[in-house]
Amino acid sequence: MSYTAPIRDQRFALETSADLASLQALDAFSAVDDDLVDAILTESGRFAAGVFAPLNRVGDQVGATLKDGIVTLPDGFREAYRQYVEGGWGSLGGAAEHGGQGLPFALATACQEQLTSANMAFSLCPMLTLGSIEALTAHASPHLQATYLTRLISGEWTGTMNLTEPQAGSDVGALRTVAVPAGDGTWRIKGQKIYITWGEHDVADNIVHLVLARTPDAPAGTKGISLFVVPKFLPDENGNFTKRNDLTCVGLEEKLGIHASPTCTMSYGDNDACTGFIVGEELGGMRAMFTMMNHARINVGLQGVAIAERAYQQAARYARERVQSAKIGDPARTPAPIIEHADVRRMLMTMRAVTEGTRALTYANAAAVDRAHALPEGDERRAAKGRADLLTPITKAYATDMGVEMASLGVQVHGGMGYVEETGAAQHYRDARIAPIYEGTNGIQALDLTGRKLNMDGGAHWRALAEEMRADVERVPAAMRVALAGAVQAFVDGASWLSAEGRDPNDAAAGAQPFCRLAGHTICAWLLAKQAGEAQRRLADGKDEAFLTAKIATANVFVTQIAPQAAALLPAVTAGQDPLYAVPGDML
């Protein structure tokens, strides 16, 4: 059940799919040389494997506990988090003016992958803080930024997102939490939020909640929502954050997985004394929320990559050690490790290929975010933002769906022992299952992709991606060209059908989920085929032959065996709503 950070795989993905060299050429990242990248990946991997990973099992078995409004984590978690803060791992991508290191989001994403593979439940704590940092950086007043950003970036304090209420899940506009002016520039917050990840805990000294609420006379729906900073502790008369705010954790969910991640029901203003500070303008909550959510959605997609990697490592190790039956065709019928059996090998190669494909997708998405922030104003920056926006729902939905499927394959490789908790394979599957649900269900992601992102700027961004993929077909290894070309054509046909003028939105909605999967298959195939082409070029130098040959073989499995599924999904994309509504609802 140990974990080893896949540093060479990550570095190769950064170089090829994130185009690390082009990021290093930008003024914002000119100090990020290759030696620094190597050092960060190596030390982050060592930290993840040595500090976070050993707590994964106890976190699952013991979990978070709630008593008298206080949530306690198992022994070792507070010390591990202290080491995380002291190591500066939370500050990698933070702005330098607030104590951050100003490194590319793509590089920070690789480090976050390591933490998530090592301990998904624990990694959610810093992940949610990163989303809070993004929202405050983009929307908060200078005073709020000065008060909170430095301590959030350092990790001294942690952050949360408070969106969901019992009646307001995906329909955020139905929320009822209210914020009333207190007369001194602050606001009184009152209401209850559910499913708040790391909403209460004992690993940091303060928790900065970002809470969506409705102000007096605000219009109905999402247009009436504002965002507020609501800290667990407020400053006392000496400026020290020791004064407890009027907020309480009143419940802790019992969940299928991520047991060490406290999923809290938070009550604000039970004594009518909960103080909040508005972020940005009144009624600007949705815009600020999407800043948080888009960042979080990429990192949740990364969870799919990370759990697939962890499940793959464990399955491959077990398959090398488990001896059972002779390999077909062995005349001596000598029992062999199950890794020699074709079906087990198929599962392992599928896990390997999908993990590397979704890693490439996620890193490419993160690099597009970097370019959207760091390029000078102009067409290139707008194109980078369009690419980042287009990829984000695909990253979130496709990578998390694949993470669940790969964790399931990990259980299958173990056979009966995979179904037994003792091996740990089941934990990966249980932990993975939440990722397609939170931060916007994958159905919502698919609707966002087909309803909004395909139509951005008249469809310019998906068409630019399609043209780039088409142009690369003739540049990838010959054995992959036919399959890649077929997947790209399916992507074009599906996107064209969905975005056609006059298309019934319900017909498009019916095809959204299969198209999102089609897009994921296609883009991952394209990125891996490009990796294979680069591996072929490097092989000519006579170095890293085993590593590079494995890259080509892994890409070949994805492009020739998984990518053809894209074309098979096209009929589901274009079928419209009628087949789904042919059976009356009362008969379902």
CA distance 435 to 431: 8
CA distance 485 to 98: 46
* Residue written as token pair 């298959």: 521
Q: Which of 232, 231, 212, 183 minimizes the C-alpha distance to 70?
A: 232
Token readout for 42 is 């190596």
HSE on the CB side for 521, CA within 13 Å? 30
- The neighbouring-strand residues paired with 65 are 72
Q: Note the Cα 322 to chain centre separation in Å.
A: 33
Token readout for 3 is 């974990």
Say if strands 187-197 and 275-279 run parallel, antiparallel, or are unpaired: antiparallel
CA distance 394 to 520: 6
CA distance 22 to 199: 38
Q: Known catalytic residue: 439? A: yes
| C-alpha distances in Å from residue 299, one per residue of 60, 88, 138, 304, 365 | 21, 19, 18, 9, 10
CA distance 94 to 154: 9
Say if strands 65-67 and 70-72 run parallel, antiparallel, or are unpaired: antiparallel
- The neighbouring-strand residues paired with 159 are 208
Beta strand spans in 30-124 (E): 65-67, 70-72
**Candidates 439, 467, 501, 534; catalytic one:** 439
Active site residue ranges: 439
